Structure 1
């Protein structure tokens, strides 16, 4: 019976591996670059990213009128022309994408941003450009940067007729990620242990074994999900979450079936498998619910 059960579970895993879910090549979210600007409060300003390559996704440097993204009918056409006129000393390209950040103080390029870029700011009131002193690269699926520039700094450089350059710092919320990671691990383990008590797994050896298994599986699961979310984004995170929970159910069902029945008192096979299924399903559903109610925890 035990061999047949393990063989059956192995076949399920094999089927999932052999018949993967396919998706459209352009389906789902894309990497993004988000830049927050601190200290600019009295200036109107527009921001773009200059790219080391002539194109990225649907955005490209102007070749002729066939790929021109702005014309005279657009309100920001004069700004577009100013960015077109800018000549970067290192040959980086303007890809015809920019935003007015005067009110939001945030620039977001959320669809195929350049992977290697400089940050260019245009101040229309003074007809002045500011360029990042260095080029930057996206370092995560959603790469966050922070630029600190004060109005007095800008005015002083403009008055002196000098070139204004600035630096950007990575501003990804790593501390928040660590806190949410710990919270998820504690929560999912607590849910599965509570269900273990409901299944009457109260004997000391049984309960400690379930604790040990959950520590290994849930820590592994949540660390892996964090890395996937950081590097590849939310869609792959969800797909991986579903697949990993299924694999963990298989692993835990096998471990509980093989070992839990040998501890303290015999346990029916159906009970160990049912517990593994319900415990993992519950933690998965609760996890998704929390992701909707409190997005920051995932």
Structure 2
């Protein structure tokens, strides 16, 4: 292929990639998520009691006043029950205080037959217990819980005391699916635009993308799930550059339907397009994982 033809292919591919990414930008990538998500724990209490109970998190000692003027809205006896609990340097975070600010809801919000308690911001601990002041004036203490994702949702059965949460492996599977499908769409359209025959090159195209998306799930997906959106954006550029380099080499030697110049042109165009789409969709991916 002549150099001029390769340059023309790159320009044509870039225009098509831009159109595809603009269409994806109109997708729910504009999801209504916080511009700077913070750590969060949501506790869904199933089969709650009829009377009023309070639920707090056991956290490392700290003195930041999270309730402030809201303290007067609560039952002082239940607050005292939570405040008096102390376990080896750990106490009730919302009631007594945290090392950094934490907002939350002791009473919870009714959701059908359950109640939802949400705690968020920088004071949310990586490890905690649930503290519950019951309607009968007693205190319940759960087992230790580790916050394994940036924002964690737990289900607590009030009657049995059993806790459950979604498997992190399901979160990784969803992350893999959410990133794989747009990548196959964008790079598949470009593969046809560069006139690579699917009969010859379709299997190589599929296997290469499966491999690189597994790599991105294990790296970029892990950053997103465990450390949040800002960490995801920080990791995106170097990881996409690594993927672009690997795919360029693989396509250069494995694709057969066109010459070497067009293989490189396709690899660079396809990776630029999928990287731009990844940047646009990253916020939506985070929202998809953690909205509930």
TM over 0.5: yes
Task: Please name the residue that 2:58 is paired with.
Answer: 50
Q: TM-score, normalised by structure 2?
A: 0.66
1:221 to 213, 216, 221: 216
Report if the CA contact (8 A) 2:149-2:225 is conserved: yes
Deviations 1:130-187 (A, max 9, x none): 423422222222222111125xx8xxxxxxxxxxxx3422345753652452353244
Deviation at 1:82, TM superposition (A): 2.2
- CA distance in 1: counterparts of 2:70 and 2:200, whole angstroms: 76
CA separation of 1:141 and 1:35: change in aligned 2, threshold 3 A:
same
- CA distance in 2: counterparts of 1:267 and 1:171, whole angstroms: 46
Task: Please name the residue that 2:8 is paired with.
Answer: none
Task: Please name the residue that 2:288 is paired with.
Answer: 296
Q: TM-score, normalised by structure 1?
A: 0.65
CA separation of 1:74 and 1:273: change in aligned 2, threshold 3 A:
farther
Report if the CA contact (8 A) 1:183-1:297 is conserved: no
Report if the CA contact (8 A) 2:184-2:209 is conserved: yes
CA separation of 1:283 and 1:43: change in aligned 2, threshold 3 A:
farther
2:129 to 82, 107, 118: 118
- CA distance in 2: counterparts of 1:44 and 1:80, whole angstroms: 10
- CA distance in 2: counterparts of 1:85 and 1:139, whole angstroms: 27
Deviations 1:78-116 (A, max 9, x none): 368425543346663123445221535222222221233
Task: Please name the residue that 1:169 is paired with.
Answer: 164
Single out whichever of 70-79 and 196-205 deviates more from structure 2: 70-79
Q: What SS is found at the alignment partner of 2:223? A: helix
CA separation of 1:139 and 1:273: change in aligned 2, threshold 3 A:
same
RMSD of aligned Cα (Å): 3.6
- CA distance in 2: counterparts of 1:130 and 1:117, whole angstroms: 16
Task: Please name the residue that 2:47 is paired with.
Answer: 39
Q: What SS is found at the alignment partner of 1:128? A: coil
Deviation at 1:35, TM superposition (A): 1.1
**Largest Rg, 1 or 2:** 1
Query: Relative CO higher for 1 or 2, CA cutoff 8 Å, sep ≥ 6?
Result: 2
In structure 1, list runs of 5 or more residues that go unmatched: 1-26, 62-66, 154-165
Matched, 1:212 2:202: no
Deviation at 1:290, TM superposition (A): 4.9
- CA distance in 2: counterparts of 1:219 and 1:83, whole angstroms: 49
- 5 Å-filtered alignment, 1:110-189, equals 110-111=120-121, 112-123=123-134, 126=135, 128-150=137-159, 166-172=161-167, 174-175=169-170, 177-189=172-184
Q: What SS is found at the alignment partner of 1:44? A: coil
CA separation of 1:29 and 1:92: change in aligned 2, threshold 3 A:
same
2:246 to 243, 251, 255: 251
Q: What SS is found at the alignment partner of 1:238? A: helix
- CA distance in 1: counterparts of 2:213 and 2:267, whole angstroms: 13
Report if the CA contact (8 A) 1:70-1:77 is conserved: no
